[in-house]
Amino acid sequence: MSDFINGFWSNYIAVFTTAAIAGCALLLWITARKKVPARSDNTTGHVWDEDLTEMNNPLPLWWVGLFVLTIVFGIGYLFLYPGFGDYPGSLKWSTRGEYTAEVTTANKELEPLYAQFTAKAPEELAGDPAAMAVGERLFMNNCAQCHGSDARGGKGFPNLTDNDWLHGGTPDKINETITKGRIGMMPPMAAAVGSADDVKNVANYVLSLSGAPHDSVRAQLGKPKFVACAACHGADGKGNQAIGAPNLTDDIWLHGYGEQAVIAMVNNGKTNQMPAQEEKLTTAQIHVLTSYVWGLSHGRPQASAKQ
Ligand code: HEC
Ligand code: HEC
């Protein structure tokens, strides 16, 4: 119930639950008390379709018993389990608690398996097909939605199979990226560069760095403006992994290729985030994933080919 900002809905549910149970009990009580005067032949005196009469028998005891039992069960259930407003129930059971317990048990069972994996360095583990099969499954479940099932990424999501790294491609750096997450932040830079024309010029200079098609006159004019970018991307434009500033001299574009894409980057900036996994995955799982990701760009034996 913690999703609600006040107790209104909790009270609302509690009141209706109480009213419904009390209503059932009341109905039972009233029908038990109300006596319909019977005639000598034990019918109520109602006649339908000329000769259809209604007997005046009491409710069968087993039926009344079941009805009472459902009320008792309902009260007992609401006492033990969550259901009565935000009262958590005396057993303190919750789906979240059950899930956490299951994950903890599963992780415990897998400990011996992971112990073999954590004993090896990522470079070595990347050549172990059993570990890579586990790594591939972890990747599919936790990473593929953003980086793609082939890990080649897409616009805004880096390709993990090449040797171009925003934050560093050593096993240590990859591990750090997965564990703590990363934020790539480029502020809007248009004001620092100057007019719209200056922005266009610096964009052409950026394109010239990787030999992409560009206007060489504009690139020459834009070159001095690149000082505004050098603090992060380096004077030579080769980037800086310490702050996740990409290399602008290669042919790899995270946010799109061409003059318009670069102009948009300069005008709008970009904040891009890789979510931290330390809450979700164990350190052993992250170790296996690190090896898997490192292996993708280091020609490890393909685990999927062996499955
Ligand atoms: C919600 C989307 C999302 C998920 C899920 C996700 N990532 Fe990322 N990841 C990103 C983004 C976005 C970046 C780029 C961050 C930046 O621009 O600085 C990134 C960056 C990375 C990098 C750094 C790449 C480089 O060039 O330095 C690695 C390694 C990585 N992710 C691995 C993983 C792994 C392994 C998983 C699964 C446990 C995962 N990611 C799950 C979005 C995601
Ligand atoms: C404060 C640091 C910083 C400054 C200053 C900066 N950038 Fe960036 N830039 C970044 C970061 C970080 C990214 C990566 C964003 C991400 O993780 O997605 C980036 C991304 C880019 C990209 C996208 C690259 C790709 O692969 O798609 C281009 C183009 C770019 N910057 C150009 C420039 C230009 C031109 C300037 C100067 C006008 C500039 N940047 C100034 C930090 C900076």
Whether 143 and 174 share a structural domain = yes
Q: What pLDDT was estimated at residue 38?
A: 74
Point out the annotated binding site for heme c. 143, 146-147, 186, 229, 232-233, 274
Q: Which atom of ligand 1 is nearest to the CA of 143?
A: 37
CA proximity to 75, closest of 150, 145, 22: 22
Q: How many CB atoms lie within 10 A of CB 218?
A: 20
Q: Of all protein residues, whose CA lies closest to atom 2 belonging to ligand 1?
A: 146
Q: What pLDDT was estimated at residue 7?
A: 87
Whether 122 and 267 share a structural domain = no
- Please give the C-alpha separations between residue 222 and each of 233, 246, 254, 307, in angstroms, as whole numbers: 15, 19, 22, 53
Q: Which two tokens stand for residue 63?
A: 């039926």
- Domain membership of residue 240 as a residue range: 185-274
Q: What pLDDT was estimated at residue 44?
A: 83
Q: Which ligand is nearest to the CA of 267?
A: 2
Residue 54 domain-assigned (yes or no)? yes
Whether 136 and 67 share a structural domain = no
Q: What pLDDT was estimated at residue 300?
A: 61
Whether 263 and 283 share a structural domain = no
Q: Of all protein residues, whose CA lies closest to atom 23 belonging to ligand 2?
A: 255
Q: What pLDDT was estimated at residue 102?
A: 94
Ligand 2 centre distance from Cα of residue 255 (Å)? 10
Q: What pLDDT was estimated at residue 304?
A: 46
Whether 280 and 152 share a structural domain = yes
Whether 24 and 58 share a structural domain = yes
3-state helix, strand, coil in the chain (%, to 5): 55, 10, 40
Q: Which ligand is nearest to the CA of 174?
A: 1
Residue 87 domain-assigned (yes or no)? no
Whether 270 and 287 share a structural domain = no
Q: Where are the alpha helices (DSSP H) in 224-275?
A: 227-233, 259-268
Residue 85 domain-assigned (yes or no)? no
- Ligand 1 near 233 CB (within 6 A): no
Q: What pLDDT was estimated at residue 3?
A: 74
CA proximity to 33, closest of 15, 53, 13, 59: 59
Residue 90 domain-assigned (yes or no)? no
Amino acid of residue 51 = D
Whether 279 and 158 share a structural domain = yes
Rounded to two decimals, the pTM is: 0.79
Whether 160 and 290 share a structural domain = yes
Residue 280 maps to which CATH number?
A: 1.10.760.10
Q: Which atom of ligand 2 is nearest to the CA of 185?
A: 12
Residue 147 domain-assigned (yes or no)? yes
Whether 122 and 167 share a structural domain = yes
Residues of the chain where predicted confidence (pLDDT) is lower than 50:
1, 302-307
Residue 286 domain-assigned (yes or no)? yes
Q: What pLDDT was estimated at residue 5?
A: 83
Tens digit of pLDDT for each residue in 171-229? 999 999 999 999 999 999 999 999 999 999 999 999 999 999 999 999 999 999 999 99
Helices (H) and strands (E) in the chain — how many of each?
Answer: 14, 4
DSSP state of 223: G
Q: What pLDDT was estimated at residue 56?
A: 82
Point out the annotated binding site. 143, 146-147, 186, 229, 232-233, 274
Whether 137 and 249 share a structural domain = no
Residue 118 domain-assigned (yes or no)? yes
Residue 297 near residue 172 (C-beta atoms within 8 A) = no
Residue at a domain's end among 80, 112, 144: 80
